[in-house]
Structure 1
Amino acid sequence: LPFIMLLVVAAFIVAFVLLLYMISPLISPKPLKLNGAHVVVTGGSSGIGKSIAVECYRQGAFITLVARDEEKLLRAKKEVEKYAINDKQVVLCVSVDVSSDYTQVENVIKQAQEKLGPVDMLINCAGTSISAKFEEMEVERFKEMIELNYLGSVYPTRAVITTMKERRMGRIMFVSSQAGQIGLFGYTAYSASKFALRGLAEALQMEVKPYNIYVTLAFPPDTDTPLLAEENKSKPLETKLISETSGVWQPDQVAKIFVRDAVQGNFNSSVGPDGYMLSALTCGMSPVTSITEGLQQIVTMGLFRSIALFYLGSFDSIVRRCMIQREQSKEAD
């Protein structure tokens, strides 16, 4: 009898999971077609932003690249144009600081829409990273992080949201960071600004979902970009050692995943096994795109939390060892 009951329970679980997989596509958003779509990429002159622009252009999109440096924008424009799939595609460059003045951002977005049509997908990729100990971080840096990493995403989004609501369609991506899921040594300014994007994304998704607009919150790992190379020059030893516990990804690999998730309307977009685990662990009250996604988070939460405790213990050990080595070095001097 116990064996028969076990079989019945197992059969019920299998049937339930299969049913979820069958129902899931029915409640998931319809994928956005990039062929002919207008995609705006802030921070599009280099790194992940440029790679996202290339990936979208490969699929037939019209691209507006937004960044501050005109020379970098023109170089990026030439690189993106190499991947055209038809003669109608256009790459438009707009030089503006997306974090300085909302009116200016609104005007350039309006100009881009007049030339290439309404924005179908907005990629908020503009941002920067600074790593230092809390007491050694200049106070002005905290303000800079919030202005660029947070307000630099608020302003472009605010500029396109009305038109998207009127058209009852759209995709908006906020590029956060794995440091926007877990606070790490040296990232007191950076992590705070990236954590803020989660609150923005979750609240905005609840507002715009009835209008068939879907928000994607992307969490890139360490990625081989000019920004990472610059950050590594002044990164504290503890931060370097912690970062080395995971690998460095190429921007084109990261871009493919982010574009796929944005097109599908997935709220969370992560890269690699570490990224998947972090997204499941930190999902909290985040929206889900499908029932199966929610089920996976429920099933894996306990296991992933156990693994995370080992990671946190390892990070604490690294910080402690570095502190002891510094103290011994001071005593020796």
Structure 2
Amino acid sequence: MHVIVTGGSSGIGLAIARLYAARGDRVSLLARHFGRLEQARIEIAASPGADLSRIQVACVDVASANQVLEAVETCEHAFGACDVLVASAGIVEPSAFERMPAAVFDEQIATNLIGTANVVRAVYKGMKTRRGGKIMMISSGAALIGIYGYTAYCASKSALAGFAEALGAEAGISGVRVSICFPPDTLTPQYSRELPMRPAEAELLMGAVKPWSAEAVAAKIVHSLDRGRTRIHFGLSLTALGYFGPLIKPLLMWWFSHRLRKISRQGRDGSLSEVMNGGFDHRR
């Protein structure tokens, strides 16, 4: 079996690739930085059951449709047609909307949404022709509820849900299974880069939940793909939002607004961030 993983040089993508490689599957890693890809390839090959000759890498910016098509064609020429695609490439750079440069907003949309569409497009026709294949889109828990400072990220990840649902309706009769998952905060290099930029206000919704390990998230995703599941949630809170969001979100957003106003009043003599860190930052 040939598995293609975008964003495969680190985080969830790397953890997923490691699981498939340990089974003896052929794995292609796609990401932007060649050095990190080579490091990931060597790291995966050191895992029990993995074989270096069955792991290949391709340096590509998923936001470029031409680069993606060329990379996927190269990977399939070497390892055969893609049986499983995991679209894990994504970026996040939180900031209040009025302070976020247009280029930063656009890059998140281009990578998270357009980049996913590009790689799906590169394998989809072949899967339909063969009447089989699995596509997993990595969305985020941020797709399930609007979060302060995450306008671009929430928009891009929410759009993936609509994309997956519509594509699934088209793909079902051809034997191609389209799935999507909504991971929580996950302990990855990107998470470490994100935290210093995260607005204090966002901690009201995000900071109380303990992050998952990349390995735990990957294991759930691979297990769900094996079982043919099309929509995967993580933990009680995100599962509830996923299935009962229209009922839960109005109350949750009312609570958020009420708490934010209260904290703002307390912080009139200091910054909101200072007040939050003093009493409401749950990462500590």
Instruction: Mark yes or no: TM-score above 0.5.
Output: yes
Q: What amino acid sits opposite 2:29 in the alignment?
A: L
Aligned CA distance change for structure 1 residues 89 and 278 (closer, same or farther; 3 Å): farther
| 1:148-159 alignment, distance < 5 Å | 148-159=111-122
- Structure 2 CA distance for partners of 1:84 and 1:249, relative to 1, 3 Å: same
Give runs of aligned pairs for residues 64-103 of structure 1, distance below 5 A: 64-85=28-49, 90-99=54-63, 101-103=64-66
For residue 9 of structure 2, give the secondary structure of its aligned residue in structure 1. Answer: coil
Is 1:172 aligned with 2:135?
A: yes
**What's the secondary structure of 1:241's corresponding residue?**
helix
Change (3 A) 1:224 1:86: closer
1:157-236 correspondence to structure 2 within 5 Å: 157-236=120-199
Q: Which secondary structure does the structure 2 equivalent of 1:203 belong to? A: helix
- 3-state SS in 1 of match to 2:202: helix
Q: CA RMSD in A?
A: 1.9
**Post-superposition offset of 1:78:** 1.1
Report SS of the residue matched to 2:58: strand
- Counterpart in the other structure of 2:260: 319
Question: Which residues in structure 2 correspond to 1:44-59 (within 5 Å)?
Answer: 44-59=8-23
Aligned 8 A contact 2:12 2:217 in 1: yes
Read off the aligned partner of 2:167 and give its amino acid letter: L
Identify if the C-alpha distance between structure 1 residues 87 and 255 changes in structure 2 by more than 3 Å, giving closer, same or farther. closer
SS of 1:329's partner is coil
Partner of 1:134: 97
Q: Distance in 1 between matches of 2:251 and 2:195?
A: 25
TM-score, reference length from structure 2: 0.90
Contact kept in structure 2, 1:268 and 1:279, CA below 8 Å: no
**Structure 2 contact 178–230 (Cα < 8 Å) conserved:** yes
Distance in 1 between the 2:195 and 2:50 partners?
A: 40
What CA deviation, in whole Å up to 9, does each residue of 1:188-224 have, x standing for no partner?
A: 1110011110111011001111111111111010001
The runs of 5 or more residues in structure 2 that have no matched partner are: 272-284
Residues 144 and 325 (structure 1), Cα distance of their counterparts in 2 relative to 1, 3 Å cut? farther
Contact 2:31 2:58 in 1 (8 A): yes
Displacement of 1:326 in angstroms is 4.4
Quick one: distance in 2 between partners of 1:222 and 1:169? 32
Rounded Cα–Cα distance in structure 2 between residues aligned with 1:247 and 1:231: 15
Q: Percent identity?
A: 34
Equivalent AA in structure 2 for residue 262 of structure 1:
L
- Decide which moves more: 164-173 or 134-143: 134-143
Describe the superposition over 1:34-62 as per-residue Cα deviations: whole angstroms up to 9, x where unpaired: xxx10000000001110111112222221
**Which residue is 1:61 aligned to?**
25
Number of equivalences: 271
Greater radius of gyration (CA): 1
Residue 136 of structure 2 aligns to a residue whose secondary structure is strand
The 2-side partners of 1:119 and 1:279 are apart by 29
Distance in 2, matches of 1:231 and 1:86, equals 31
Secondary structure at the aligned position of 2:187 is classed as: coil
User: 2: CA distance between counterparts of 1:106 and 1:178?
Assistant: 29
Residue type at the aligned position of 2:31:
A
TM-score normalised over the length of structure 1: 0.77
CA distance in 2, matches of 1:86, 1:77: 10
Preserved CA contact (<8 Å) 2:22 2:50: no
Structure 1 window deviating more from structure 2 (232-241 vs 62-71): it is: 232-241
Query: Are the aligned partners of 1:217 and 1:268 in contact in 2 as well (CA < 8 Å)?
Result: yes
Residue ranges of structure 1 left out of the alignment (5+ in a row)? 1-36, 283-300
